Amino acid sequence: MIEDEKAIFYLNDDLQPLLVVDQMIHDKSMRGNIGFFVDIGTEAFFKDLKITYFD
């Protein structure tokens, strides 16, 4: 869930969030883009990534 500057991320159907970001850096007018940053020299793998839009 992303609302204003706060984002809450869940893994699978867990009730507890995996990650909470209190100060997202984005412009409120931005829509449709999501980026993942992985530190330099590291790798990240995502399988069956699903992003759900809640209106």
In angstroms, the CA 52 to CA 11 distance is 12
- Number of domains observed in the structure of the chain: 1
In a domain, 54, yes or no: yes
Are the CB atoms for 2 and 17 separated by under 8 Å?
A: no
Q: Tens of pLDDT along 6-22? A: 888 888 889 999 989 89
Q: Tens of pLDDT along 33-45? A: 677 777 888 888 8
In a domain, 34, yes or no: no
Instruction: Give the range of the structural domain holding residue 3, as residue numbers without chain letter.
Output: 1-27+42-55
In a domain, 49, yes or no: yes
In a domain, 20, yes or no: yes
Model pTM score: 0.56
DSSP state, 4?
Answer: T
Instruction: Check whether 32 has a pLDDT greater than 90.
Output: no
In a domain, 32, yes or no: no
In a domain, 37, yes or no: no
